[in-house]
Chain A
């Protein structure tokens, strides 16, 4: 089955610790994205990558870092510099064509900072 997987589903972290969220896709998509979702709000773009070994900051990149060493993988690190990291994190992927570039989402990771 083609799709996007995120792990873990739930993650707890102590304040001051870095944590890495995993995102893997087997859809052969070039582009991958990370979003943050807070209660009652839409999706806010953290980082995106159009191609391996390249990524760009989104709207709320401060306190986050990413890497794109493989086409299938786009891990997100939430660093201790992120002031309010508790949120639901969503990974997505898409083609990079002008049309049919819909984004497909993973199941999400809920991060709670204790």
Chain B
């Protein structure tokens, strides 16, 4: 079945550093979603991408829909302690409204 591979699995960075993570799929997607999950909470949608090459920002977060349509990237600039959490990518499965979710990138920000 479809697998979404997220990289890296975990990151430990100093406050103020920039962060980059990516997600790759084995098939072409027409949508990429990025979520953040705080410990013990539900995922919160950060950015939705609908077009190959699209670059979308949400505050310090920027996500890109890869040209090949098989990958997506999330960047966080000038990280702060509240950026801590798990970041998930998601892509559509089939023609319905279901999504595949990646296994997540765990981000730790050291003050």
Contact = CB atoms under 8 A, between A and B. Distances in A.
Interface residues of B, number: 22
Contacts of A103: 33, 45, 90, 97, 99
Interface residues of A, number: 30
A105 B43 contact: yes
Contacts of A58: 98
A45 B45 CA distance: 18
B50 A99 contact: yes
Nearest to A97: B97
A31 interface: yes
Nearest to A96: B97
A96 B97 CA distance: 6
Most buried by B among A31, A99, A102, A104: A102
B40 interface: yes
A92 B88 CA distance: 15
A44 B43 CA distance: 13
Given A31-B97, A94-B97, A102 B45 contact: yes
A100 B31 CA distance: 9
Interface stretch (B11-19, B55-63, B74-82, B101-109): B101-109
6 contacts: A42-B103, A102-B33, A103-B90, A103-B99, A104-B45, A108-B40
Interface of A: 4, 6, 31, 33, 35, 40-43, 45, 48, 50, 58, 88, 90, 92, 94-96, 99-108, 110
Given A4-B42, A100-B48, 10 more contacts: A6-B42, A35-B101, A43-B43, A45-B98, A48-B97, A50-B96, A92-B42, A102-B48, A103-B33, A108-B41
Interface of B: 4, 31, 33, 35, 40-45, 48, 50, 88, 90, 96-99, 101-104
Closest 5 CB pairs of A and B: A105-B42, A43-B101, A42-B101, A42-B103, A108-B42
